[in-house]
Structure 1
Amino acid sequence: MTSFPRYDPYNYTDGRWLHRDELQRNARRVMFDFSALCDRVIRLCPAAARVAHCEKKEGRCNRVFLLTMNTGSCVVARLPTGIAGPPRLTTNSEVATMTYLRGKISLPIPHVLDWSDDPSNPIGAEYIIQEPAVGVPLRDMWPRMNMEQHMLCTKALCIAITELASFNFPAYGSLYFADGPLESHLKIPFHQGEGFCIGPHCSPVFWNRSPGELELYGRPSPNCGPWKDLKSYSLGLIETGFSRLPNPDTVNHDLLPYQGSIQDHVVLISKSWEVMQQLIKNKCVQDAAAPTLLHPDFHKRNIYVSEENPTVITGVIDWQWASIEPAFVYANEAPDFANQPQETVETILGLDVQEIPGRSEKELKDASIRCQTYDLYMKAYARKIQYARALDPTLFHLFQCCHTSWRDSATALRHALVELSAYWTEELGLPGSCPYYPTDDELEQHIRDYDDFKAVQQLKQWLTVSLDSGSDGWVPNERWDATKDAHRAQYDLWMETGRDSELRGDDDMTVEKGDKLWPFDAR
């Protein structure tokens, strides 16, 4: 018999948000039968009679419990929240991906003991129960590792990436079990007899599952895949972009100009499809679009290593949202273990990296070696990734922003089109002319709007670093009061700058505009 814990297992309790706090926390509420979950775990652990200890951990989209039995054995139970992705499909796809990859790659993947994608089960929610990852998070070990260990660890992880990138798939989408809860026309079989198929992409982006999106957009995309070729994949992006345009009655009309009207987005998304139809005819783009499966969040927080020898990888967790994408989707973002040192407030404000106190020559050399190791392995062994990395990323920006234009702004999408138009022939070597060509007046207005857009991105990045928060304004409970006060002080300073500019007659920054530009609402 297991009693309920003293903490709340159903609500998000690990932190607060500086932006849309109540909406963010409510979106992560999960209702289920905690006693039934514990009973199920007990039955999975030989000789166990009860749960002796339970530790609750919060993921951004999952409720996680570390359950220790009276015998000392331990398991991890994960329950997706409503924002994790489409019901049933997200759980089925994650387990199918882990099952497919176990034994095929050298990366250790925790063994799934039990799972259900049917919320009508006795627990009352979808769940995955798995063995805990062995070792300790690489994030915790990284500061204690020396330069050689950093390099060897990066090498081992690069080998794992090249293994994943070597698999060939017949379509884009997400992996599922062949008997998964999908209509037959949404299943593309592969490796007949192994029990897997490719089905719809289970990212929340296609299903409008982020906090508040269902209320804003009202429905998922009509085209979530799977897609057998780059043209159908691209059309899926376009149709998703249209599906994310809100009902005019729900739109806040007090928006900054760079956000754009609904009609602006309709025009830009339509024009994006014209441009993309030309891009996907290009052999270079086609060759850079090989269907590729990589870990969706391959960073130090999800990688476990041996505490005795941190160059040995002992586990990789969180395969949720792993999907088969065109290789160019993965091409230009290196994992954090192979990236330059984390940005500081000084670098965001434009100081030379050599001028920053504490940024030692040794640290810079360490980062350089890791980056070179990553580049070497991608170039030598990850053919699909390297081919995409060798091309100008301007070719692919449109594929990465056309389906999220309302979230990211019309200006962000227009900028991708403007760059393509400017570089189409000489820099990119594309035939003919770009179907999008802005007039001088349109280009002048875009430059003004893009300045505001960049100002907001830089402001948010500066706040994220200076407040040590998530990009969405997330802050752990123990720092909430202090961070909220610091946030208010930063806001007051920002508004004072706006007042000074307004008094000087500067129309580019006024009090009203400064308030609109501020990215968080906890004022």
Structure 2
Amino acid sequence: MLGSLNATSLVILRRYGCRGISSYASTARSQEDSLMVPTLKKWLYGSGIRSFNRIFALQFDGAREDLIARIPFPSAGPRGLLTKSEVATMDFVRRKLGVPIPKVLAWDPSPSNFVGTEFIITEKCPGMSLAEKLPDTSTASLYSANVAMWMGGLANIRFSQFGSIYYKEDVDESLQARPLYAEGGEEDDCSERFRIGPSVERAFYRLERADMEFDRGPWPDAYSYLKASAECEIQWMKTYANSEEAVRTQRHIGPMHNVARHVSVLKQWISMIPAFIPSSDKLARPALSHPGILSKLVFIDDSDLWDTSGLIGWQGASIQPLFLTGRPEFVRHEASKFKFIKSPGILPANFSQLTPAAQAQALEEQTQSSPFRSFLVMVRSLSPELFDAWVQHQKHAQTLKTLSVSASHVWSQGLPLFEHLLMNTIDEYGKSIPKHPDYPELPVTFSSEEKKRTAKGLQEIATEHKLFGDIKNALHKKGIEMDVDGSVRAEDYTAAREEAKAMRRSILGRLAQKERIMLKAAWPLRDTKFAYNQESCIGK
């Protein structure tokens, strides 16, 4: 695991919440380098990029390039497994597809090592991130060609199961006997070196789930995967949701439903999963995907500004159904932003009848939307199945993805939101969601009374979302940016807190007593509000 690093000294982190990466050597890429001593150059976490890790840049005497040290927070994912899978996944993607991923120089998944924590040390990605170089996403999309090749290549790999990738020696013997690729897949170096093991997705390890026994994979089919996610939530609620702490921190502000009601609705979802899964095996087969390709994770080469030099952010990557593969954040076409262009890169049919000014605007919109069209054209040529999931079955795939994620957070999000999603999905069955040939009718229906109750609960949740948006906009006008979890830069905290307090006092002063009680319950920055990135995945 030490790779090319030898044992000199890497003492850096004692003051940052762990005993430090000590006694792990500097940069001995060669014997002559063995005496170089590292220093902490920069603590990268907190620089405006939300992360599940402490990230450090290490500078070495005489070295031209920094190294990057990453230590996962307890909220990142399963202790030990997360690091094992991340290192193996990065290695697999480099070997299999040649994707420029920073080389891992040293790593240790054990929290009880003499460092005091699990860690990964990698080479630094050359160049700068796309977000730093081109903050305008419409321009950033010009760099989508390599991303399309990477994603198409990943989508074309036929895996045997759903789960996460590990080195062969890091999974149980029973899993070592299972092949990496699906039947008929071509054997190569990777098929011997890697295996599929338990999923490292956070949904299976949040809070007390980390200590619970349930099915974390690997799974043979998409149904088993989606079912396991819902059953994980059911088992947690039955065991812990009635505790004082769980009730106190429940995010939902509408009518409080008991555990039995939550479980009943989740079981309804499980009963409908087979009907909602695409009937085409090509769309539901196992596929490895990046957790989320953001512009801050794609790097541009300084020597060739039109070439991408790296892709980072593989922590938590897993093998999921192909239809759950997400698009890159910076390669999107939002039709609502365009007056004339509805299909990316294509001029409207009445272009010749438009006024000169309107034609000029349409041509500008065509230019802005063309990179997205080029991206899809390339994806279609590389992986027709991924293209189908994104375009031909877009509504279907997005609905399933939303339901899958929501099923894992029913208690924290509030039952009305999940019920609303289910009701809409049932209404769309046979329309935007094709009827499965084996399931002409769904096993679940909702009464008009249930729909009214859900609508009322949704209205109360919407109040919280509106308040959050109002606060976010007010802070933005003050030059303070607030993240989706309510976090701000450390230097902005005091000013942001005072501004939010002033808004709260102002709003409360205009309300009647009953409305004040509702607003206090719905206040989006209240203490004990649920926050995804604060859920530990280590357990007790």
TM class by shorter-chain length? Answer: 0.7 to 0.9
Say yes or no: does 1:260 pair with 2:243.
Answer: no
C-alpha change, 1:180 and 1:339, in structure 2 (3 Å) is farther
C-alpha change, 1:376 and 1:458, in structure 2 (3 Å) is farther
> Greater CA deviation, 316-325 or 287-296?
287-296
C-alpha change, 1:369 and 1:91, in structure 2 (3 Å) is same
Residue deviations 1:86-109, cap 9 Å, x none? 111100100000111114324311
- Aligned-partner SS, 1:82: coil
Match 1:478 to one of 450, 469, 491: 491
C-alpha change, 1:432 and 1:363, in structure 2 (3 Å) is same
CA distance in 1 between counterparts of 2:212 and 2:367 reads 44
RMSD (Å), alpha carbons: 3.2
Say yes or no: does 1:403 pair with 2:408.
Answer: yes
Percent identical pairs in the alignment equals 21
- Aligned-partner SS, 2:192: coil
- Where does residue 198 of structure 2 map in the other structure? 200
Match 1:159 to one of 124, 134, 149: 149
Asked whether the 8 Å contact 1:306–1:313 carries over to 2, the reply is yes
- Aligned-partner SS, 1:35: coil
TM-score, length of structure 1 as denominator length: 0.80
C-alpha change, 1:243 and 1:219, in structure 2 (3 Å) is farther
Say yes or no: does 1:241 pair with 2:249.
Answer: no
CA distance in 1 between counterparts of 2:228 and 2:282 reads 19
- Where does residue 348 of structure 2 map in the other structure? none
CA distance in 2 between counterparts of 1:152 and 1:102 reads 23
Alignment of 1:58-457 (within 5 A): 58=45, 60-73=51-64, 74-143=66-135, 150-180=140-170, 182=172, 184-185=174-175, 188-190=178-180, 194-208=192-206, 213-214=207-208, 219-220=211-212, 222-245=214-237, 246-250=240-244, 251-252=246-247, 256-257=253-254, 260-280=257-277, 283-284=279-280, 286-331=281-326, 333-338=327-332, 340=334, 367-389=368-390, 390-391=392-393, 392-393=395-396, 394-430=399-435, 431-457=439-465
Q: CA deviation at 1:470?
A: 1.3
1:252 corresponds to which letter in structure 2? V
Asked whether the 8 Å contact 2:290–2:314 carries over to 1, the reply is yes
TM-score, length of structure 2 as denominator length: 0.77
1:424 corresponds to which letter in structure 2? Y
CA distance in 1 between counterparts of 2:301 and 2:471 reads 35
2:454 corresponds to which letter in structure 1? H
2:317 corresponds to which letter in structure 1? A
C-alpha change, 1:34 and 1:156, in structure 2 (3 Å) is closer
Q: CA deviation at 1:513?
A: 1.0
CA distance in 1 between counterparts of 2:15 and 2:172 reads 29
Match 2:26 to one of 17, 38, 41: 41
2:156 corresponds to which letter in structure 1? S
Match 1:54 to one of 36, 41, 45: 41
Residue deviations 1:248-300, cap 9 Å, x none? 123336862256332221111111111113334x514x442121112112111
Say yes or no: does 1:491 pair with 2:478.
Answer: no
Q: CA deviation at 1:303?
A: 1.1
In the alignment, structure 1 segments of 5+ residues that lack a partner are: 12-28, 344-359
C-alpha change, 1:182 and 1:117, in structure 2 (3 Å) is farther
C-alpha change, 1:85 and 1:429, in structure 2 (3 Å) is closer
Q: CA deviation at 1:465?
A: 5.3
C-alpha change, 1:122 and 1:87, in structure 2 (3 Å) is same
C-alpha change, 1:428 and 1:152, in structure 2 (3 Å) is closer
CA distance in 1 between counterparts of 2:525 and 2:141 reads 38
CA distance in 2 between counterparts of 1:98 and 1:10 reads 29
Asked whether the 8 Å contact 1:174–1:202 carries over to 2, the reply is yes
Asked whether the 8 Å contact 1:221–1:244 carries over to 2, the reply is no
Residue deviations 1:314-342, cap 9 Å, x none? 111121011111112125x5422435599
1:260 corresponds to which letter in structure 2? H
CA distance in 1 between counterparts of 2:527 and 2:23 reads 38
Number of aligned positions between the proteins? 466
CA distance in 1 between counterparts of 2:366 and 2:500 reads 35
In the alignment, structure 2 segments of 5+ residues that lack a partner are: 1-7, 182-186, 338-360, 476-480, 529-540
Residue deviations 1:93-151, cap 9 Å, x none? 00000111114324311011111112333212211111111001111111489x7x645
